[in-house]
C-alpha cells in the first residue's frame, strides 16, 4: 500500500478513537508536517468521511457525532485469504511475539463483515485442521472450501463432483467429517455413501458441492487429521515396505512423517537375540521409489529390521558401503542417489 494512502487510513483510525485531535498531535503520530495533515483531512472529506474542524485554543479535528464506518468491503475470496492467513500463522507458531494479535485481528474482521460471510468464515476456522508445515501449494476453489466447511460444521450430507487421479469423474454422496490442510494441499475426510466406505478426497479435484436435506451424526472420537494421514500412508503405491524400528512412535515420526508411514507399537522385539525387547514399533509404508529410504533410516539412528522388500535390504547395504568408503577417504567409488532423482 502506498505510504500516503496508508497514512490517510491511519489518520481515520486515530479520529475514530474519539475526541478532538490537534493538528500538531496528528502530525507527530503520522510523522508528517501539519500542512500534510490538512491535505490528508481533505482526502477523507473527498471520500465523504465527515471530518469536522474545531477552531479555538483547544481546536483540531474530529469525526461528526454518530458516524460509523460501513461494513468492511471484502469479497468472499479476500476475506477467506485474510482469515486463513491468520489461522495458519497461529497454528504454525508464527504469532508468539505478537501474543494474541492474530486472534484480536480475526475478531475485528468478523465484527465488521456482513453476517452472512462472517458465519461462513466461522465455519472455516472451526472445521480446519493443520497437520504439517506447508509444502508446494495446490489451489482449491474458495467456494468449494466454504461449502465443505459449512457442511462439516452443521453435519449436513452433500453431493460432490470428483475427478480421481486417473481422470475418472464421478458424483459422490458424502457425510463430511473434516477438512485438513497437509503439506500445501487440502483434503476432505468423509463417509462415501456411494462406495459404503470412509474415503479421503483432494479439494482441488472437487468441482461442485451441493448440500442435501437432513443431517448425520459423526462417529464418536472422530479425528479428521488422523484419518487423512492414515489414508495417505496406506494409499496404493509401487512398493510396500514393512520395518521394525526400535523407538517410540513419536521418535520415529520425527524422521518419517505420519502422512508417509503408519507406525504401531509392538509388545516385543523382533526375533533377534542381540536386541533388547523394548520400545519396538512396526512401520509400514507404501512408496513409489525406495532409493530415498536408506538415508532416512540412517538419519533415525535407531536399530531396525527390514521385513520387506528384499530390494530395500540391497539399497541399505550399498548405502552403508558408500558411507564407509567416504569415512575412509575412498569416496567417489559409488553412485549417490536421492529422492529428488538423478
* Band of residue 313 on the pLDDT scale cut at 50, 70, 90: very high
pLDDT at 259: 65
SS3 content of the chain, % helix, strand, coil (to 5): 40, 25, 40
CB 82 within 8 A of CB 125: no
Q: In the chain, what are the domain boundaries?
A: 3-63, 76-231, 239-327
Return the C-alpha torsion angle 91, 93, 94, 99, nearest 10: 100
pLDDT at 285: 84
Q: What is the architecture, at CATH level 2, of domain 3-63?
A: Orthogonal Bundle (1.10)
Nearest to 114 by CA among 71, 152, 64: 71
> What span, in angstroms and rounded, lies between the C-alpha atoms of 86 and 101?
9
Secondary structure (DSSP) of 121-159: HHHHHHHEEE-SS--S-----HHHHHHHHHHHHHT--EE
- Residue, of 16 and 110, whose pLDDT is higher: 16
Tell me the three cell numbers of residue 270. 523382533
CB 256 within 8 A of CB 285: yes
Tell me the three cell numbers of residue 265. 507399537
> What span, in angstroms and rounded, lies between the C-alpha atoms of 293 and 105?
44
Tell me the pLDDT tens digit for each residue of 186-235.
Answer: 889 899 998 888 888 888 889 889 999 999 998 888 888 887 777 766 66
Tell me the pLDDT tens digit for each residue of 152-171.
Answer: 989 999 999 998 866 788 99
Secondary structure (DSSP) of 325-342: HHHTT-TTSS----TT--
Tell me the three cell numbers of residue 228. 487423512
Tell me the three cell numbers of residue 294. 536408506
pLDDT at 46: 85
Cα four-point dihedral sign 170, 171, 176, 178: positive
CB 58 within 8 A of CB 20: yes
What number is the average pLDDT over the span 99-106? 62
Neighbours of 192 (CB within 10 A): 18
Is residue 41 classed exposed, middle or buried when 0-12, 13-18 and 19+ CB atoms within 10 A define those classes?
Answer: buried
Look at residue 243 and give its three-state secondary structure: strand
pLDDT at 158: 95
Rg (CA), the chain: 29
pLDDT at 2: 46
> What span, in angstroms and rounded, lies between the C-alpha atoms of 17 and 11?
10
The reported pTM is 0.45
Number of helices (H) and strands (E) in the chain: give both, helices first. 11, 12
pLDDT at 215: 93
What number is the average pLDDT over the span 333-341? 43
Residue 106 phi, psi dihedral angles, 5° rounding: -65, -40
CATH of domain 239-327: 3.30.70
Look at residue 20 and give its three-state secondary structure: coil
* Band of residue 174 on the pLDDT scale cut at 50, 70, 90: very high
> What span, in angstroms and rounded, lies between the C-alpha atoms of 179 and 151?
10
> What span, in angstroms and rounded, lies between the C-alpha atoms of 3 and 1?
6
Across the chain, mean pLDDT equals 78
Tell me the pLDDT tens digit for each residue of 264-304.
Answer: 888 655 555 444 556 789 998 877 788 888 998 998 889 99
pLDDT at 271: 57
Amino acid at each position: 500500500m502506498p505510504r500516503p494512502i496508508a497514512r490517510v487510513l491511519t489518520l481515520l483510525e486515530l479520529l475514530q478513537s474519539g475526541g478532538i485531535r490537534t493538528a500538531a498531535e496528528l502530525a507527530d503520530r503520522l510523522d508528517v508536517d501539519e500542512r500534510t495533515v490538512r491535505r490528508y483531512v481533505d482526502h477523507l472529506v473527498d471520500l465523504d468521511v465527515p471530518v469536522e474542524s474545531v477552531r479555538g485554543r483547544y481546536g483540531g479535528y474530529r469525526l461528526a457525532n454518530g458516524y460509523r464506518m460501513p461494513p468492511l468491503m471484502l469479497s468472499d475470496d479476500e476475506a477467506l485469504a485474510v482469515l486463513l492467513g491468520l489461522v495458519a500463522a497461529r497454528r504454525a507458531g508464527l504469532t508468539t511475539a505478537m501474543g494474541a494479535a492474530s486472534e484480536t485481528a480475526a475478531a475485528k474482521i468478523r465484527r465488521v463483515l456482513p453476517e452472512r460471510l462472517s458465519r461462513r468464515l466461522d465455519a472455516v476456522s472451526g472445521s480446519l485442521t493443520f497437520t504439517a508445515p506447508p509444502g508446494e501449494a495446490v489451489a482449491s476453489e474458495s467456494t468449494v472450501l466454504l461449502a465443505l466447511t459449512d457442511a462439516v460444521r452443521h453435519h449436513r450430507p452433500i453431493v460432490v463432483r470428483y475427478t480421481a487421479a486417473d481422470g475418472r469423474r464421478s458424483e459422490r454422496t458424502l457425510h463430511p467429517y473434516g477438512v485438513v490442510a497437509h503439506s500445501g494441499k487440502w483434503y476432505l475426510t468423509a463417509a462415501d455413501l456411494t462406495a459404503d466406505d470412509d474415503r479421503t478426497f483432494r479439494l482441488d479435484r472437487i468441482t461442485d458441492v451441493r448440500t442435501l436435506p437432513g443431517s448425520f451424526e459423526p462417529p464418536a472420537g472422530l479425528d479428521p487429521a488422523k484419518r487423512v494421514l492414515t489414508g495417505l500412508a496406506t494409499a496404493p503405491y509401487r512398493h510396500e515396505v514393512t520395518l521394525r524400528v526400535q523407538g517410540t512412535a513419536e521418535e520415529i515420526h520425527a524422521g518419517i512423517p505420519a502422512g508417509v508411514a503408519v507406525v504401531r507399537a509392538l509388545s516385543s522385539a523382533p526375533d533377534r537375540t542381540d536386541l533388547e525387547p523394548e520400545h519396538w514399533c512396526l512401520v509400514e509404508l507404501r512408496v513409489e521409489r525406495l532409493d530415498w529410504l536408506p538415508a532416512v533410516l540412517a538419519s533415525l539412528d535407531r536399530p531396525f529390521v527390514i521385513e520387506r522388500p528384499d530390494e530395500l535390504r540391497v539399497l541399505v547395504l550399498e548405502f552403508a558401503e558408500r558411507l564407509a568408503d567416504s569415512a575412509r577417504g575412498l569416496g567417489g567409488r559409488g553412485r549417490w542417489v536421492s529422492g529428488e532423482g538423478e
